[in-house]
């Protein structure tokens, strides 16, 4: 019995994990070094002069893998000499270091939920290797910058008329908002991250439960012009706007939002911000009720008459100022006080059977996208660092988080050569490796392709390794 020797299942699991990780590291090292040999044998010997080997390390989800690879002397066209690693050219992540894509995906997934320090600690615990918060930060910044570069390419493609998405939506619903976060080492104490969402309707996911369909989410520190350019490009990447008959914008009434809407866009004042403005500026319950009743019945002329009478009845200067503030807010957004569903629009049906419901999801999305991760817990950001993370958070909300890690250069090995090397490594006569107390494990199968089994005397290996 395991417990007779004082070994808990937790200990058993941990040691098994360590053994498997060790096996993966050994296999990867062997594979990379053999592939490096293949590159040496097939290189242009005139162009690449072999100058020996140097060690490096790649971080993987099963630990750090140290391996040797050859360095070559190359003479460039301008006559200058440089030194290159042919294998590293296939693996290297510029500006980040050697990080596997699986490791990068783990970092990206965790950073959307927790801090850089917490992400580093979690991955360290998971992989058994030392990952620093700065390492995570470097990777996230590099990936965020690549996302930004792709955004600029998308904007350029849209301006040249090259974007036309496959999704046909007769009605396109759009929402925008901004959230202020604390800044560090900047002239201003706070900065606004603009957030935009576009979708073509609601799909029913359960009883009285609905979800936005085909969401396009954008976010970042930017001025209104830059934000609008990328917002339109991102929408055009997904939707064929030539087929869109009506566009509806739900927003808080900020001037920059109005500036990004074209004349044909139907504007609706966001219900959350409308109701918040009433609550913040009107302290009397009866007056609040009266205002809501006039809004519900769409009696806007009477609404403004009531607000003027209400203001003139006040004696407190602060209350008068607040009443004037609400009147101004409503006058500036008069056209949006009536919800789109009450404007008498003849909206075409969605051919995919999607439902048209009341808008006003932005506040929830701002919380889930930005505020939950970036606004609370006493966090502060640089413009560049905050912008990079906001881009990644927007990708997550769009259901496209997997695209972020794919910005890394993905190494592609020659399939035939990889299979040959794999066969060599896994040949029973050639793979005698030692783990722990010296058990030489015979292995058959494939570690390169996870769907194939790894066989051997597992119980004997464990017995020798754990000392049971």
Q: Hunting for tokens 């009845």 — which residue is that?
A: 313
Domain range summary for the chain, segments of one domain joined by +: 2-92+409-466, 163-400
pLDDT of 437 reads 40
166-170, 249-253, 412-416, 433-437: which range is least confident on average? 433-437
Tokens of 140: 């996230």
Q: State the pLDDT confidence band at 96, using cuts at 50, 70 and 90.
A: low
**How many CA atoms are closer than 13 Å to the CA of 213, on its beta-carbon side?**
20
pLDDT of 445 reads 34
Do 167 and 410 meet the contact criterion of CB atoms below 8 Å apart?
Answer: no
Cα separation, 319 vs 280, whole angstroms: 10
Cα separation, 19 vs 459, whole angstroms: 12
71: exposed, middle or buried (C-beta count within 10 Å: 0-12, 13-18, 19+)?
middle
pTM equals 0.77
Cα separation, 212 vs 357, whole angstroms: 10
Cα separation, 100 vs 78, whole angstroms: 34
Kindly report, residue by residue over 427-456, the tens digit of the pLDDT: 744 444 444 443 343 333 333 333 333 334
Q: State the pLDDT confidence band at 208, using cuts at 50, 70 and 90.
A: confident
| Main-chain phi, psi angles of 64, to 5 degrees | -75, 135
pLDDT of 367 reads 75
Cα separation, 358 vs 321, whole angstroms: 32
SS3 49: strand
Count of CB atoms within 10 A of residue 423's CB? 11
Rounded to an integer, the average pLDDT of 109-116 is 92
Q: State the pLDDT confidence band at 4, using cuts at 50, 70 and 90.
A: low
Cα separation, 336 vs 296, whole angstroms: 13
Q: Hunting for tokens 């098994």 — which residue is that?
A: 16
Do 370 and 381 meet the contact criterion of CB atoms below 8 Å apart?
Answer: no
Give the DSSP letter string of 202-249. Answer: EEEEETTEEEESS-EEEEES--HHHHHHHHHHHHHHHB-GGG--EEEE
Higher-scoring residue by pLDDT: 367, 19: 19
Higher-scoring residue by pLDDT: 442, 342: 342
Average confidence score pLDDT of the chain: 84
pLDDT of 463 reads 45
């Amino acid at each position: 019995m395991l417990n007779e020797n004082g070994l808990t299942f937790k200990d058993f699991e941990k040691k098994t994990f360590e053994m498997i990780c060790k096996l993966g590291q050994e296999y990867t090292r062997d594979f990379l070094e053999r592939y490096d040999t293949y590159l040496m044998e097939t290189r242009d010997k005139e162009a690449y002069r072999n100058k020996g080997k140097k060690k490096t390390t790649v971080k993987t989800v099963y630990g750090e893998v140290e391996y040797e690879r050859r360095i070559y002397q190359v003479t460039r066209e301008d006559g200058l000499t440089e030194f290159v690693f042919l294998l590293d050219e296939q693996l290297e992540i510029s500006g980040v270091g050697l990080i596997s894509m699986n490791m990068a995906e783990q970092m990206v997934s965790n950073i959307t939920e927790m801090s850089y320090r917490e992400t580093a600690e979690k991955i360290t615990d998971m992989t058994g290797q030392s990952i620093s918060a700065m390492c995570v930060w470097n990777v996230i910044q590099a990936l965020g910058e690549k996302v930004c570069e792709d955004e600029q390419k998308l904007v350029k493609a849209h301006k040249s008329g090259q974007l036309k998405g496959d999704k046909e939506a007769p009605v396109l619903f759009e929402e925008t908002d901004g959230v202020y976060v604390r800044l560090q080492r900047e002239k201003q104490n706070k900065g606004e991250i603009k957030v935009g969402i576009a979708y073509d309707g609601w799909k029913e996911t359960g009883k009285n439960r609905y979800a936005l369909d085909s969401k396009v989410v954008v976010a970042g520190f930017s001025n209104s012009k830059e934000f609008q350019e990328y917002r339109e490009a991102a929408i055009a990447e997904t939707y064929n706007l030539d087929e869109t008959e009506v566009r509806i914008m739900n927003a808080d009434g900020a001037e920059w939002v109005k500036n990004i809407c074209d004349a044909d866009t139907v504007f609706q004042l966001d219900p959350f911000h409308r109701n918040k403005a009433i609550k913040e500026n009107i302290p009397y319950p009866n007056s609040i009720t009266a205002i809501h009743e006039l809004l519900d019945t769409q009696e806007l002329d009477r609404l403004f008459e009531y607000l003027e009478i209400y203001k003139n009845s006040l004696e407190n200067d602060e209350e008068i100022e607040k009443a004037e503030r609400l009147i101004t807010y409503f006058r500036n957004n008069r056209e949006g006080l009536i919800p789109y569903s009450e404007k008498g629009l003849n909206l075409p049906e969605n051919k995919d059977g999607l439902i048209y419901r009341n808008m006003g999801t932005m506040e929830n999305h701002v919380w889930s996208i930005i505020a939950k991760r970036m606004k609370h817990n006493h966090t502060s950001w640089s413009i560049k660092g905050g912008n990079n993370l906001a881009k990644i958070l927007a990708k997550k909300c769009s259901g496209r988080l997997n695209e972020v890690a794919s910005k890394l250069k993905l190494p592609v090995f020659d399939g035939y050569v990889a299979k040959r090397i794999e066969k060599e490594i896994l040949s029973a006569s050639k793979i005698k490796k030692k783990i722990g107390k010296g058990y030489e494990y015979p292995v058959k199968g494939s570690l390169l392709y996870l769907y194939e089994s790894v066989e051997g005397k597992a119980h004997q290996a464990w017995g020798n390794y754990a000392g049971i």
